[in-house]
Amino acid sequence: MSRTFVGWPAFPQAAAVATRDAQLRANVARATGTIRAKRAKLVAERPDWEELRDSAAALKDDVLTHLDTYLLQVEEKVTAAGGTVHWARDAAEANRIVTDLVRATGEREIVKVKSMLTEEIGLDNALAAAGIDARETDLAAAIVQLGDDLPSHVVVPALHRNRAEIRDIFVREMGRHGRPAPEGLSDDPPQLAEAARLHMREKFLKAKVAVSGANFLVAETGTAVVVESEGNGRMCLTLADTLITLVGLEKVVPTWRDLEVFLQLLARNATGERMAPYTTTWTGTTPGDGPQTFHLVLVDNGRTRALADEVGRQALRCIRCGACMNICPVYERTGGQSYGSVYPGPIGAILNPLLKGLDDPQTASLPYASSLCGACNDVCPVRIRFTDVLLELRHQVAEGDAKVKHPGEKAALRAVGAVMEHPAAWNAAIRAAGKAGPLIPKKKLPKPLSGWTDSRIVPGIPKESFRAWWERTDGGTE
Amino acid sequence: MSSARDDILARVRAANATQRAEPGAVPRTYLRHAPGIDPADRAAVLALFAERLVEYGATVHRVRSADVAAVLAAALPEGSAVVPGGFPAPWLAEWTGAVIADTPPLPAGRLDTVDAVVTTCAAAIADSGTLVLDGGPGQGRRAATLLPDLHLCVVQADQVVSSIPEAIGALNPRRPLTWISGPSATADIEMIRVQGVHGPRRLTVVLVEG
């Protein structure tokens, strides 16, 4: 059973630990700095970048507005092309469907292409509980799995690890799960990639069942799309007899032609490439080529909850490029694991509360994991207005039905409201504050007010209020 | 008990029933052709295609059709190569290695021991340096172009379009498509690009002009 984010502390507590880890901060800053530079160069190559973003945002909004129609279209087309479509309301149901499908094949070891959705629903652990070993084949996902670690980025899940740490994980763990790391393995990246190639090749050649996600799912044709770099995706999508693909409801695009928009945006924005090395598209099954059994699992797991949020539903446009985390000053300092989810960074700060609700302290802390600088708005390929959603979610935490809120803050605001409505009470309060000012600690207020000073300094309170000064000096004329 | 399908569709409809704004029409004002070149200028399109491939770390040979056999003989290793049905036999006339046919389909373990695979393609895209294979004549099934360590692809100049929007309408989504933009690569270790992980570590493109 590998580690999960279950029971993860709220963002401020997790970030307090992460920001003290100098190695982590150095690893994350180096990686995000490198991707930002590559992305900026490639985006500048497109004079029509803003027009591509306009189209992508509008296409995704169209999908969300007519999602029921498009999902039925997907089901019809995939079924007609020889696939089987399953629907899962939540993580448990999706895991049960996949476990049953794998069990029916009798296989005990399967291969996986990196999929955020399967990480979100905890599929690897669910399969492990049924005695099925699901091996991650993407290099970064394998580093995380072999190291019993947790992902910290949607595109580069092991971004928080440097080459020396990766070498140690390979040397220690590869032999326990198959072909050991070569003798005398160094921390040179090409050597590490070669070790992964040899370790995985053995698994690809014998795997009968593969599990994947999909970047896009075309309603018009029932075509699934996987974009990847290493070729592990092609191995899984091609060599297995049975392919099980899990897709979140929001991954649909209306027509085949619409891929021209998303394929031009995704790699450029994610990794600073014109196209990722490999894009595989398939529709159902093809006699004589690739898996002859294809299952598509459509997963809700909170997406319809997000869809019902008028402001927040735009988070479902996300195509998981990771640009928002690469540009985020908060992410760069805390790393991804502080967000307590496979979706970290700005998208995690909005998507997790929208999928799961705000009733627990961890998700309710996420909308505050932002300086509201808005850099994420500017790099988002589908024009998600992160800052609008962050503010809306903060509003829901403070004023809405969420069970987690700051009771002290609410009580204090009510009390201030009452005082401000009565001039006499207000003047008395201001005079009292002026007298008490020097006695109030600047950095650490006592409970229950300490929540305020955890992240703020109390401003100096002047001895004389503006109103008192105005009266004394006759409007500043004396 | 209602099915998951019915429940999910009902939830989608309920969520959308409360939304006020109907999104507008999808704008399509992005470029249809590769930026920076005239798409009618064939020389410019082919030059861009070759430049992008080289940037990815692919090897590019620009040849006349009479020279294809000689170039393939020099570019292929001495060992063995998978040759899919429909690949023009004259192109291999000068190569002395072992031709491996994939009929009946070879087991994955056998494909893994072959040195190279030669194919044609269904389309090529200059702007992104992309080859698209659709399993048609000369292209083979997907496993055959994946396991050998060298992929040599012969592209006819008239197959090269300038941009993804130009290419996509001509592709058949019912076929399994593999879009290849350079050799297998990763940047998962400290964002340093390493060429060659699981897919073919070497990609050679022979561009046939005239």
Classify domain B41-208 at the CATH class level: alpha beta
Q: Mention every residue, 6+ apart, whose C-beta is less than 8 A from residue A464.
A: A434, A472
What pLDDT is recorded for position A403?
A: 63
Flag if A89 and B127 touch (Cβ within 8 Å): no
Regarding an ipTM greater than 0.85, the answer is: yes
Name the residue of chain A whose CA is nearest to B179's CA.
Answer: A279
Q: Mention every residue, 6+ apart, whose C-beta is less than 8 A from residue B74.
A: none
What is the least distance, in Å, from the CA of B174 to any CA of chain A?
6
Distances (CA, A) of A23 to A27, A30, A34, A157, A246: 6, 11, 17, 16, 35
Flag if A58 and B26 touch (Cβ within 8 Å): yes
Q: Is A441 helix (H, G, I), strand (E, B) or coil?
A: coil
Distance of CA A420 to the CA centre of its chain: 42
Per DSSP, helices labelled H in B64-180 are 68-75, 108-111, 164-168
Classify domain A11-303 at the CATH class level: alpha beta
What is the least distance, in Å, from the CA of A361 to any CA of chain B?
25
Q: Is the pLDDT of residue A404 over 70?
A: no
What is the least distance, in Å, from the CA of A138 to any CA of chain B?
9
Q: Using a CB-CB distance cutoff of 8 angstroms, which residues of chain B are in contact with residue A261?
A: 30
Q: Using a CB-CB distance cutoff of 8 angstroms, which residues of chain B are in contact with residue A193?
A: 186, 189, 194, 196-197
Instruction: Please state whether beta strands B177-180 and A278-283 pair in parallel, antiparallel, or not at all (unpaired).
Output: antiparallel
What is the least distance, in Å, from the CA of B81 to any CA of chain A?
19
What would the pLDDT profile of B154-207 be if each residue is shown by its tens digit? Answer: 999 999 999 999 999 999 999 999 999 988 888 888 888 888 899 899 999 999
What is the tally of helices (H) and strands (E) in chain A? 23, 10
* Contact status of A265 with chain B (Cβ, < 8 Å): no
Between B18 and A377, whose confidence is greater?
Answer: A377
- Res. A408 pLDDT band, cuts 50 70 90: low
Q: Which of B111, B184, B186 to mutate to test the interface with A (most CBs of A within 10 A)?
A: B186
Q: Which of B119, B190, B202, B203 to mutate to test the interface with A (most CBs of A within 10 A)?
A: B190
* Contact status of A245 with chain B (Cβ, < 8 Å): no
What would the pLDDT profile of A231-285 be if each residue is shown by its tens digit? Answer: 999 999 999 999 999 999 999 999 999 999 999 999 999 999 999 999 999 999 9
> What CA–CA distance (Å, rounded) separates A10 from A368?
11
Count interface pairs A-B at CB distance under 8 A.
242
| A259-271 vs A22-44: helix crossing angle, rounded to 10 | 140
Instruction: Please state whether beta strands B98-100 and B80-82 pair in parallel, antiparallel, or not at all (unpaired).
Output: parallel
The residues pairing with A278 across neighbouring beta strands, listed in sequence order, are A228, B180
Q: Per-domain residue ranges for chain B?
A: 41-208
Q: Which of B2, B3, B9, B12 to mutate to test the interface with A (most CBs of A within 10 A)?
A: B12
What pLDDT is recorded for position A73?
A: 98
Between A325 and A1, whose confidence is greater?
Answer: A325
Average pLDDT of the residues in A182-197: 95
| CB contact at 8 A, A110 and A102 | yes
Q: Nearest Cα to A152, choosing from A333, A318, A293, A294?
A: A333
Q: Which of A229, A251, A253, A258 to mutate to test the interface with B (most CBs of B within 10 A)?
A: A229
Average pLDDT of the residues in A152-158: 91
What is the least distance, in Å, from the CA of A305 to any CA of chain B?
8
> What CA–CA distance (Å, rounded) separates B36 from B28?
19
Classify domain A314-399 at the CATH class level: mainly alpha
What pLDDT is recorded for position B15?
A: 97
pLDDT above 70 as % of chain A: 96
Q: Who among B11, B22, B181 is closest to A277 (CB)?
A: B181
| CB contact at 8 A, B45 and B161 | yes
Averaged pLDDT of chain A: 93
| CB contact at 8 A, A184 and A178 | no
Query: A446 burial class (0-12, 13-18, 19+ CB within 10 angstroms)?
Result: exposed
What pLDDT is recorded for position A409?
A: 66
Helix H or strand E segment including A92: helix A91-105
Flag if A143 and B135 touch (Cβ within 8 Å): no
Q: What DSSP string describes A208-277?
A: SEEEE--SEEETTTTEEEEEESSSHHHHHHHH-SEEEEEEEGGGEES-GGGHHHHHHHHHHHHHS-SS-S
Q: What DSSP string describes B7-75?
A: HHHHHHHHHHHT--PPP-PPP--S-SS-TTS-TT-HHHHHHHHHHHHHHHT-EEEEE-GGGHHHHHHHH
When computed from its CA atoms, the radius of gyration of chain A, rounded to whole angstroms, is 26
> Residue A339: what residue type?
Y
- Res. A475 pLDDT band, cuts 50 70 90: confident
Q: Per-domain residue ranges for chain A?
A: 11-303, 314-399, 407-473
Q: Who among B4, B141, B191 is closest to A289 (CB)?
A: B141
Q: Who among A231, A277, A304 is closest to B15 (CB)?
A: A304
> What CA–CA distance (Å, rounded) separates B112 from B30?
42
